[in-house]
Structure 1
Amino acid sequence: MAILLVFLCFALVPALFSTAEPLRADLPGRLLRPGTTSAGVTHWLGTDQLGRDVWSRIVYGSRASLTIAFAAVFCAGIIGSTLGVAAGTLRGWVGAVIMRIADMVLSVPFFLLAILTVVVLGPSLVNVVLCLALVRWPRYTRVAYGQTLEAQGREFVRSAVAVGSPPLWVIRKHIIPEVIPAIIVVATLELGLMVLYEASLSFIGLGVQPPAPSWGSMLSDGQQYIGTAWWLATFPGLALFLLVLSVNMLGDFVRDQLDPSERALRS
């Protein structure tokens, strides 16, 4: 949580952690080693091939990674949960169609579907969010579908239906509260994947577009200088590693707290 909070602070108020301009190029100061001082500015993590401060670009790049990750998780969670609850409630051919579409989306390799989506929509921050949401919603759908079916078999839900409670009231008061904990667990675990997927798309040029700082594009640029300027790829990769690790550990903790099966095992 502490590591994740640090990156959240980077994304929310990057100017507090870096005084250098992430887009400012300085060709005479290109590829400076970490700790080098140039023009009165100490570049703690060195500079890139255009003389831009690596530390500043990592700090400002966290905003793109976290913004896209949180937005994609939110959109995919809303779409997938809604469709999952609808499929579990309506059942019949409607539920079958929704679940078969979800299976079809899951069967297509992520990168193939993501690349096709971004190529059609065009590379931009908003389109990356839409792309990630469109390819990840089936996981929420399957979880919400299973939780809805399980909740409908419980006595208090069957009693509410038996006394004539409106279907929407039953969904709002009984089904959704049973689905939300499982969806939160999935969303927390998906957050780390979204960070990696955003970096992967930026790495191949389909994510955040230059010159905006992004960890994926920094890794892509750094691979060309891995033998002469190791810091260009090392530090963005380390930031990506720490963020995904912290999110995954947080996801495990949330799962242990909210997953009924995990609580049963502990008890």
Structure 2
Amino acid sequence: MPTLSIIGGGHVGRALGRLLAGQFSVQDVLTRSPQSARQAAHFIGAGRALHEYAQLRPADVYLLAVSDDQILPACAALAAAVPLAGAVVFHCSGALASDRLQAASEAGAYTASVHPIRSFADPAAVAAHFAGTFCGVEGDARALAVLDPALQAIGGRPVAIDAAAKTVYHAAAVFASNYLVTVLDAALRAYQAAGIAEDVARELARPLASETLNNVFRMGAAPALSGPIARGDFATVERQRQAVAAWDGATGELYQALVGPTVALAARKVQG
């Protein structure tokens, strides 16, 4: 099997290392300290624990499982430590593109990024239940020719993304998760402002939010839109805007900021 060395022994490096150990021969596991390197190699179940780049041996594939701010220095250190001509070097950032691996490219490596779209809070659980995980991938075709089959073999579902739009791609997850929580929090607080207890407010919002999500993923966003804007009832929208702004200024601004995009969505519904 081709050899794989892993730079970084955090949750992502450990989980992917254990998963990919069946597709590659894990050679070296490099982290900042001997102890963390030993722990990572033990979790992965393979690899020689290292804490200095000078100890690295040449490998066919290198995984940079480091934080976003460490990708450039880690890649530069890797390129200075081992010959990279013909090797594959990839990172796992959701926000940064493979062009951050320029030092490896200049050394003759084929570079890519692989972003598994899930939480790695529990590496053991990720390794045990990786099947079906979507992975945003982009980079050199020769790198992806090695990585895509490996991801598919461990149950991943590679999805090609535009490297130039990597930051927008990452923002999609923020809209789908983080900002969704913010909007739902506004709904729960508005219910409470109307005198409804918090636990009851959650039960009131749950079926509405759940059905809406199901409709979006079943039919698409535009067909799932309902409510006053979808009906063209802008008198109600304005009354709500004024009332929410009077109750809580910041939430009023959020309500107003969502009017324009929702009007555009309603127009798409009509056109569709």
Q: TM-score, normalization: structure 2?
A: 0.25
Q: Which has the higher contact order (CA 8 A, sep 6+)?
A: 1
Q: TM-score, normalization: structure 1?
A: 0.25
Structure (1 or 2) with the greater strand fraction: 2
Structure (1 or 2) with the greater helix fraction: 1
Q: Looking at CA atoms only, which structure, 1 or 2, has the larger radius of gyration?
A: 2
